[in-house]
C-alpha cells in the first residue's frame, strides 16, 4: 500500500461524509478577508457564485439589486458630502506606471492566499440562493410598434442583454450549430431561413450570444485560450447580413449589455506577472504577456483598478455597434470573480462575505456613452 493508494481510496469515501465536511466547515468559517480602510484604497469585491452569464439565463435577486442601488447611492452621497473625490472612497487603487502595477501584483503574490473555504461558501450561497424569485426578472413589454412579440427577459429596462435567440418581430435570429439561423416569420409561420456563418478566428470558437436591434446585429463568440470576439453586422437585409467589422478582447466571456448603440463587453482573465524581470516585463512589446488586451492593445495602466486581493481581471470594453473596431473605453478591474449587475446608470460589482457577520462589498461605476468611471465602494450588512 502506498500514499497514492490511500489518496485514491479516499475518493471512495461515502458521499455523505464528504457532504458533512463541506457543510460542517462552511457554517463555522470565519471571515478571511480584511476589509481595507477607505484610505488604504484597495479592493476585493467579488467572488463568483452565479456569475452573470448573459441573456435570458441571467438571474439576480431583485431584492439584492435594490439593496445594491441603495447602498451605492448612499456611498456616493457620502463621498460627495465629504467634499472629496469619490474615487478616494474606492476599494481599488490605480497605479501610475506598469512598474508600479508589476510591483503590486508581486506583492499580491506574496500576500494572497487563495481561500478554498471562501469558494465553498460561494457554493453554499449559490445553493441557498437557488430559489430565485420570479420577480427578479422583468420582461420587456411587447413592442407597441412592429407587432406583438416578446423580447429577452431583462433585469433592467433599457439595458439590453444578449441571448441565444432574438427576434425583431419579423425574423428570428438564433444561434444554431456554429451559425446564426435567421428565419423569416413575417407570415406568422417559419418561412425561408438564412444560415449565417461567422468568420471564426479559431477553429475552437463558439458562438455565445447575440444582439439584434434595428438594422444591427452583434454576435459574440469565444474560443480557447480565452479570447472573446464580437462581430457586428448590418442586417438591413436579414437575408444577406453584411459584416461591418469585429473586435477581440482577452478573457473568457462573462456577460455583456447594450445600452443604445453601445455594447459593454465583460470578460474574465487571470492576471499574473510574467516570467520576466520587471525591467523586461514593462517593455511595450512584453506588456501583452500579462496585461489584458482589447483589439490587440494592452489596457492602459491608468485604466487598471488594483485591489489588495484578487487576480481575476474583469475586462470591460465599450464599443458602438456600427464601429466595432473602435474602442470607446476599456477598463480592467482586478477582483476575485465578480458578480455584476448593470443598472440604468451604473455598473455594480459586488461580493458577499458569508462570515459570521455577513456583509456585501459593493463598488459602483458610472457608464455613459461608453465611458466607464469608478465612483465609490462601500460595504453593507447582510
Partner 1 sequence: MTDNDIIDLYFARDDRAVTWTAAQYGTPLFHLAQRFVAREDAEECVNDTYMSAWNHIPPTRPAHFFAWLAKVCRNHVISRTRWNDAVKRSTDLVELSDELSQCIPDERYNREREAEELGAALSEFLRSLPQEKRVMFLRRYWFGDSVAEVAEQLGITESKVKVTLHRVRGQLKIYLEKEDIPL
Residue (of 259, 245, 268) closest to 342 by Cα position: 259
Give 18 or 63: the residue with its C-beta nearer to partner 1. Answer: 18
Give 24 or 134: the residue with its C-beta nearer to partner 1. Answer: 24
Q: Supply 90's cell numbers.
A: 474606492
Give 8 or 302: the residue with its C-beta nearer to partner 1. Answer: 8
Give 206 or 286: the residue with its C-beta nearer to partner 1. Answer: 206
Closest CB 226 distance from partner 1, rounded Å: 10
Q: How many CB atoms lie within 10 A of CB 199?
A: 10
What DSSP element (H or E) covers 248? Answer: strand 242-250
What are the C-alpha distances in Å from 74 to residues 40, 363, 377? 20, 12, 10
Give 5 or 275: the residue with its C-beta nearer to partner 1. Answer: 5
200 and 221 in contact (C-beta within 8 Å)? yes
Q: Supply 34's cell numbers.
A: 480584511
Distance CA 298, CA 296 (A): 7
Alpha-helix runs per DSSP H in the chain:
3-10, 15-28, 62-81, 98-111, 116-128, 278-281
Give 28 or 144: the residue with its C-beta nearer to partner 1. Answer: 28
Q: Are strands 193-197 and 329-335 parallel, antiparallel or unpaired?
A: unpaired
Give the footprint of partner 1 on this chain (CB under 8 A).
Answer: 1-15, 17-22, 24-25, 28-30, 32, 47-51, 53, 57, 59, 114-117, 119-120, 122-123, 126-127, 130-132, 337
Residue 144 contacts by C-beta under 8 Å, 6 or more apart in sequence?
Answer: none
- β-strand partners of 248: 229
Q: How distant is the alpha carbon of residue 292 from its chain centre?
A: 14
Closest CB 9 distance from partner 1, rounded Å: 4
Give 9 or 74: the residue with its C-beta nearer to partner 1. Answer: 9
Give 204 or 369: the residue with its C-beta nearer to partner 1. Answer: 204
Closest CB 185 distance from partner 1, rounded Å: 23
Give 54 or 343: the residue with its C-beta nearer to partner 1. Answer: 54
Closest CB 33 distance from partner 1, rounded Å: 13
Closest CB 191 distance from partner 1, rounded Å: 27
Residue (of 267, 347, 349) closest to 313 by Cα position: 267
Distance CA 49, CA 283 (A): 36
Closest CB 179 distance from partner 1, rounded Å: 16
Closest CB 55 distance from partner 1, rounded Å: 10
Burial 229-238 (b: 16+ CB within 10 A, else e): bbbbbebeeb
Closest CB 204 distance from partner 1, rounded Å: 12
Closest CB 341 distance from partner 1, rounded Å: 15
Closest CB 93 distance from partner 1, rounded Å: 24
Give 205 or 318: the residue with its C-beta nearer to partner 1. Answer: 205
233 in helix, strand or coil?
strand
What are the C-alpha distances in Å from 210 to residues 50, 106, 189, 225, 322? 21, 38, 22, 21, 15
Residue (of 300, 321, 316, 301) closest to 349 by Cα position: 316
Amino acid at each position: 500500500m502506498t500514499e497514492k493508494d490511500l489518496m485514491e481510496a479516499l475518493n471512495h469515501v461515502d458521499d455523505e461524509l464528504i457532504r458533512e465536511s463541506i457543510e460542517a466547515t462552511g457554517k463555522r468559517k470565519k471571515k478571511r478577508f480584511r476589509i481595507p480602510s477607505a484610505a488604504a484604497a484597495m479592493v476585493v469585491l467579488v467572488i463568483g457564485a452565479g456569475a452573470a452569464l448573459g441573456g435570458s439565463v441571467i438571474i439576480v435577486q431583485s431584492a439584492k439589486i435594490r439593496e445594491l442601488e441603495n447602498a451605492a447611492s448612499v456611498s456616493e452621497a457620502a463621498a460627495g458630502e465629504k467634499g472629496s473625490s469619490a474615487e478616494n472612497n474606492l476599494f481599488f487603487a490605480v497605479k501610475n506606471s506598469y512598474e508600479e502595477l508589476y510591483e503590486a501584483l508581486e506583492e499580491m503574490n506574496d500576500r494572497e492566499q487563495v481561500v478554498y473555504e471562501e469558494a465553498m461558501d460561494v457554493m453554499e450561497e449559490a445553493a441557498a440562493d437557488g430559489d430565485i424569485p420570479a420577480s427578479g426578472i422583468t420582461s420587456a413589454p411587447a413592442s407597441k410598434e412592429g407587432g406583438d412579440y416578446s423580447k429577452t427577459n431583462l433585469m433592467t429596462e433599457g439595458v439590453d442583454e444578449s441571448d441565444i435567440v432574438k427576434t425583431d418581430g419579423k425574423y428570428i435570429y438564433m444561434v444554431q450549430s456554429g451559425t446564426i439561423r435567421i428565419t423569416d416569420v413575417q407570415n406568422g409561420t417559419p418561412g425561408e431561413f438564412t444560415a449565417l456563418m461567422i468568420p471564426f478566428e479559431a477553429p475552437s470558437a463558439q458562438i455565445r450570444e447575440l444582439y439584434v436591434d434595428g438594422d444591427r446585429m452583434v454576435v459574440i463568440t469565444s474560443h480557447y485560450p480565452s479570447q472573446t470576439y464580437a462581430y457586428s453586422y448590418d442586417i438591413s437585409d436579414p437575408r444577406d447580413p453584411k459584416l461591418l467589422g469585429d473586435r477581440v478582447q482577452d478573457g473568457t466571456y462573462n456577460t455583456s449589455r447594450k445600452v443604445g448603440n453601445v455594447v459593454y463587453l465583460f470578460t474574465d482573465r487571470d492576471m499574473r506577472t510574467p516570467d520576466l524581470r520587471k525591467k523586461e516585463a514593462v517593455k511595450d512589446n512584453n506588456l501583452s504577456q500579462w496585461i489584458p488586451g482589447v483589439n490587440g492593445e494592452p489596457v492602459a495602466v491608468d485604466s487598471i483598478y488594483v485591489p489588495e486581493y484578487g487576480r481575476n481581471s474583469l475586462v470591460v470594453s465599450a464599443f458602438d455597434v456600427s464601429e466595432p473596431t473602435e474602442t470607446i473605453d476599456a477598463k480592467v478591474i482586478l477582483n476575485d470573480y465578480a458578480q455584476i449587475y448593470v443598472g440604468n446608470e451604473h455598473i455594480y460589482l459586488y461580493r458577499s462575505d458569508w462570515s459570521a457577520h455577513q456583509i456585501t462589498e459593493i463598488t459602483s461605476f458610472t457608464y455613459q456613452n461608453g465611458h466607464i468611471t469608478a465612483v465609490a465602494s462601500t460595504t453593507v450588512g447582510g
